[in-house]
Amino acid sequence: MSVRIVATIPFTDQKPGTSGLRKKVRVFQAANYLENFVQSIFDSIAAPRGSTLTVGGDGRYYNREAIQIILKMAAANGFGRVLVGQGGILSTPAASCVIRKYQTFGGIVLSASHNPGGPDGDFGIKYNIGNGGPAPEKVTEAIFARSKAMAEYRILDAADIPLDVIGETRLGDMTVQVIDPVSDYAELMETLFDFGAIRSLLAGGFRLKFDAMHAVTGPYAREIIEKRLGAPAGSVMNAVPLPDFGNGHPDPNLTYAHELVEIVYGAAAPDFGAASDGDGDRNMILGKGFFVTPSDSLAVLAANATLAPGYRNGLAGIARSMPTSAAADRVAQALGVPCYETPTGWKFFGNLMDAGKVTLCGEESFGTGSDHVREKDGLWAVLFWLNILAVRRQGVEAIVREHWARYGRNVYSRHDYEGLPTESANGVMQHLHDSFAVLTGSQLGSYKVVFCDDFSYIDPIDGSVSTGQGVRIGFGDGSRIVFRLSGTGTEGATLRIYLEAYEPDVSKHHLDAQVALAELIGIALQVSQLRERTGRTEPTVIT
């Protein structure tokens, strides 16, 4: 085996987004594209010779091929050991768990999260630092800068290594250790939750359905929910990970997880329904005919955290992304702990958790997590809910409605307009910026605008500044509208509109969110000129 130095030319489009670099599969398959980006990572992180790296992915199309390339490049760049999930599989939270447990220098995670897979689908790659979390902006900026100057990469001339057999293989001077992708993560979950109480709940006739969406959490859910907790076989549906996710869209929301939704809203509905996404870091929670918004889910978990053994001593604090509703803020206030508002992107929570400032955190985009890892964690959220249900012995809807009665309801919805022409989407955002002065102080229907801004954030730990994080229109009663361009798509632009109104009146808590938010929805379309500028009359997805 010998190290080959390959001459290359830089690509100009390798700037990582909120969760790494995501492109169409065919882009990554182009000559030197993946290799250039991987070399940019290795050149930027300056890992000491002999360091250990973690590698794994969500099993989507091109996952195995990419891992073989990364392993050979790691060997050529002086790494001493690589821990890789069996079959190339590691959910994103499990990768964070492995990095932290074995104290590896960092990790490369191959995923495009909730984006579609297959040969015509999406692929992604990101670097996680030694705390197990996504690389902060200063690291991703260095990687991007390096990618623009790439002239050569290093790769070992060697045969592919067997990924399906647990054990060690030598690759040049480096050891590749293929590990069980599930065991470390499952053991961590057992330290956080009362598996005995959950087993008792399930043994008593409580029925659940978990939709793995033919994505990475299938093996994890089968091991934990069916094997360790004793749920009947078949409680986990779509459990086999497939490179194209069974021609599905592995995004756990009411639109794309329609098979689960039909079951949970059907005549013989189970007591509890849940789903996770492509790489296992997102979750959707459902009761019988009842959808729990991710914002409410974070607030309910925070309010009931001490029911789970891993959180019995209480919370240091709570963090949420700016577009996420203020429901968690009300819980934090009641608990007497701080609540931090950050930009979208899990990396912003990492500093707060490392400094011991927060225990729980969440995003409205179906992501919830805690300081047990440094990624959002879909299956963790499902187990947390099961722990609460096992202790309280109430249904999902009853728990949420009781929560609203105590704290008030932050009526909330997100409207996604996917695949917009980039120029049109940018035009909407520019129009909103240009309207700040006119909107501020104006009366829009029954709402008075008290402020308009583009959210910026100063990290309280390292002082770093993030700007341009989303346009906010705030009203006098605490209601608000947020407009934001997503950083997770690979084709066109996705414009998200977030709508929130606070309702303390219990007699109005039964209203459907779209009905309760109807006036705000109309105002959002009016002030943004979205329909006129994009030609779209309806959102692609409503959650």
The answer to whether the beta carbons of residues 108 and 54 sit under 8 Å apart is yes
Q: How many Å apart are CA 419 and CA 314, to the nearest integer?
A: 42
Q: Tell me what pLDDT residue 460 has.
A: 93
pLDDT exceeds 60 at position 261: yes
**β-bridge partners, 176:** 82, 169
Q: How many Å apart are CA 418 and CA 348, to the nearest integer?
A: 25
Contacts 24+ apart (CB under 8 A), 437-446: 439/473, 439/527, 444/523, 444/526, 444/527, 445/519, 445/522, 445/523, 446/519
Q: Tell me what pLDDT residue 541 has.
A: 86
Which whole number is the average pLDDT over 48-74?
97
pLDDT exceeds 90 at position 181: yes
For residue 123, what is the enclosing H or E element?
strand 122-128
142 plus 276 within the same structural domain: no
441 plus 499 within the same structural domain: yes
pLDDT exceeds 90 at position 490: no
Model confidence band, residue 1 (pLDDT cutoffs 50, 70, 90): confident
Q: Tell me what pLDDT residue 512 has.
A: 92
**C-alpha Rg value of the chain to the nearest Å:** 23
| Catalytic residue IDs | 113
Average pLDDT value over all residues in the chain = 95
Which whole number is the average pLDDT over 194-218?
97
* Domain end position, chosen among 165, 180, 195: 180
CATH of the domain at 519: 3.30.310.50
In percent, how much of the chain has pLDDT > 70? Answer: 99
* Domain end position, chosen among 407, 432, 467: 407
- Whole-model pTM above 0.85? yes
Residue whose tokens read 């130095």:
5
Task: Convert the pLDDT of each residue in 82-111 to its tens digit.
Answer: 999 999 999 999 999 999 999 999 999 999
* Domain end position, chosen among 407, 424, 451: 407
- Residues spanned by the domain of 465: 409-542
Residue whose tokens read 């990790």:
107
Q: Tell me what pLDDT residue 344 has.
A: 87
Which whole number is the average pLDDT over 236-248?
96
pLDDT exceeds 80 at position 378: yes
Model confidence band, residue 346 (pLDDT cutoffs 50, 70, 90): confident
Q: Tell me what pLDDT residue 183 has.
A: 98
For 470, list phi and psi in degrees, rounded to 5: 140, 140
- Rounded (10°) angle between helices 63-76 and 33-45: 40
473 plus 390 within the same structural domain: no
Model confidence band, residue 18 (pLDDT cutoffs 50, 70, 90): confident
pLDDT exceeds 70 at position 487: no
In percent, how much of the chain has pLDDT > 90? Answer: 93
Which SS3 state, helix, strand or coil, does residue 21 take? strand
SS in 3 state form for 254-293?
CCCCHHHHHHHCCCCCCCEEEEECCCCCCEEEEECCEEEC
pLDDT exceeds 60 at position 488: no
Spatial CB neighbours of 371, under 8 Å, sequence gap ≥ 6: 353, 358, 359
If one counts the domains in the chain, the total is 3
CATH of the domain at 375: 3.40.120.10
10 plus 135 within the same structural domain: yes
145 plus 275 within the same structural domain: no
